[in-house]
Amino acid sequence: MKLTAEQIQSNWEIFLNNIKTHIPGNRGEQLLNFYKRYEERIILMPAAHKKEYHSAFPGGYVDHVNRVVRCALKQYELWKEEGADVSTFTLEELVFSAINHDLGKMGDKDHEAYIPQTDQWRKDKLGEDYMFNKKLAFCSVPDRGLFLLQQHDITYSFNEMVAIQTHDGLYDAANEKYLKAFMPEQKPRTSLPYILHQADMMAARIEFEIEWLPKFSKDNVEQPKKNYTLQSKTSSKSKALNTIASSGLKNMLDSL
Ligand SMILES: [Fe+2]
C-alpha cells in the first residue's frame, strides 16, 4: 500500500491532535515535544520492515497508531457497555498507551530501527523495502518504547506500563506472566491491557486485509502453469522463513 504525501501529512496532524486532545498538562506538552523532536523520523516510518507484516510502507507507523487509537476508543465503549469496570483506568491512560504502544519500533534516540534495504535481491525477490538496523542492540519493542519515554522524562502510570508491555497479548510468550495467571489476585486489575491488545490486533488485521486480500482475488492470483519446473531454492527458503514463529529466529535466519 502507498500513502500519498497528503495522507501522510494528514495522519501526522491526527496523531498530534490525539495527544493535544487526550493527554493534558505538562505530560502532554512533553509528549508533543518528544514527537516533534523526532518528527522527521516518525512521520515516514513503516510499522514493520517486512512486507508480510502489517503497514511496511512509508507512513505506515503513524497510520497504524492512529487506527489503534480509534479502535481502542471504540473497544472502550464496547467493554463499558458490556459491564467492564472502566473506572479502573482513565481514558487518558487508554489513549496514552495506544499512542505509545509501538514506540519501540522507532529504534533508539540515535539509530532508526528500520533502514532502507540495501540488498537488491531481497528487495526484488522478497519485496523487502526495509531491513533491521544492526547498529541497534536487541531490545523488545515494548521495553524499548518504555525506555525511550523515561529517557525523555515522560512519566507513565502503572496501568500504562502494563498495557504497553503486554499489548501483543499472548502472541508474545513474555506476557504469560501477566495474562496467564490463574490466581485471581495475580490477574490484571483493569481491562486496559485487553482493550489495547484487541485494538492493536483489530488494526493489524484490517491493515492486512487492505494490503493483501486484493492480491488474492481471482483476477490477481496466478493460475497454475501446465508445465512445471523445479522450484528455485530461493522460493523454498522464503517459504520456510515464513513458517517460523519466533521473530528473533527469523531475523537471525534472514542475515544468513
Ligand atoms: Fe501495533
Q: How does pLDDT run across 193-217, given as a tens digit for each residue?
A: 999 999 999 999 999 999 999 989 8
For 217-251, how does the pLDDT look when each residue is reduced to its tens digit (9 = 90+)? 877 776 665 554 544 444 444 444 444 454 544 44
Contacts of 141 by beta carbon, 8 Å cutoff, 6+ apart: 102, 104, 105
The grid coordinates listed for 163 are 498495557
The Cα–Cα gap between 31 and 154 comes to 7
| Residues in CB range of 76: below 8 A, 6 or more apart | 86, 91, 94, 195
Long-range (24+ apart) CB contacts under 8 A made by 183-186 are none
Instruction: Calculate how far, in angstroms, residue 218's C-alpha sits from the geometric centre of ligand 1.
Output: 30
Q: How far is the CA of 168 from the centre of ligand 1 (A)?
A: 8
Distance of CA 26 from the midpoint of ligand 1 (Å): 26
Q: What is the pLDDT of residues 5-51, one digit of tens each?
A: 999 999 999 999 999 999 999 999 999 999 999 999 999 998 887 77
Question: What does the pLDDT read at residue 252?
Answer: 41
Mean pLDDT to the nearest integer, 159-170: 98
Alpha helices, H only, the chain: 5-22, 25-37, 39-44, 60-81, 91-100, 120-126, 141-151, 158-165, 176-179, 192-212, 233-242, 247-254
CA of 101 to the centre of ligand 1 (A): 6
Q: Which of 92, 108, 89, 101 is nearest to 19 (CA)?
A: 92
pLDDT tens-digit map of 44-70: 998 887 777 778 889 999 999 999 999
- CA of 204 from ligand 1 middle (Å) equals 7
C-alpha 125 to ligand 1 mean position (Å): 26
**Cβ 244 vs Cβ 253: under 8 Å:** yes
- In the reported structure, the alpha carbon of residue 56 is separated from the centroid of ligand 1 by a whole-number distance in angstroms of 12
Which is higher by pLDDT, 81 or 1?
A: 81
CB 49 within 8 A of CB 128: yes
Residue in the structure block whose three cell numbers are 513458517 = 243
- Residues forming a β-bridge with 114: 132
Residues 46, 105: Cα–Cα separation, whole Å: 9
Compute the distance from residue 95 Cα to the ligand 1 centre, in Å: 13
How far is residue 194's CA from residue 84's CA, in Å, rounded to a whole number? Answer: 11
First-to-last alpha carbon distance for the chain, in angstroms, is 28
pLDDT of residue 227: 54
Distance 83 CA to ligand 1 centre (A): 26
> What is the per-residue pLDDT for 224?
60
pLDDT of residue 129: 84
User: How close is the Cα of 43 to the center of ligand 1, in Å?
Assistant: 16
Q: What distance in angstroms lies between residue 105's CA and the mean position of ligand 1's atoms?
A: 9
Q: How far is the CA of 199 from the centre of ligand 1 (A)?
A: 9
CA-CA-CA-CA torsion for 120, 211, 52, 50, nearest 10 degrees?
50
111: which residues sit within 8 A by CB, 6+ positions away?
A: 133, 135, 136
If you measure from the C-alpha of residue 197 to the centroid of ligand 1, how many angstroms do you get, rounded to a whole number? 8
Report CA(71)–ligand 1 centroid distance (Å).
11
Instruction: Give the Cα separation of 220 and 234 in Å (integer).
Output: 22
Please give the model's pTM, rounded to 2 decimal places. Answer: 0.83
Query: Positive or negative, the Cα torsion across 194, 107, 245, 215?
Result: positive
Ligand 1 centroid to residue 6 C-alpha, Å: 23
CA–centroid distance, 200 to ligand 1, in Å, is 5
- Which residue in 106, 75, 89, 61 sits closest to 160, CA to CA? 89
| CA–CA dist 88, 90 (Å, integer) | 7
The predicted structure's pLDDT at residue 226: 57
Predicted local distance difference test score (pLDDT) of residue 225: 57
Query: Ligand 1 centre and the CA of 115: distance in Å?
Result: 19
Encode pLDDT of 111-163 as tens digits.
999 898 999 999 888 878 889 899 999 999 999 999 999 999 999 999 999 99
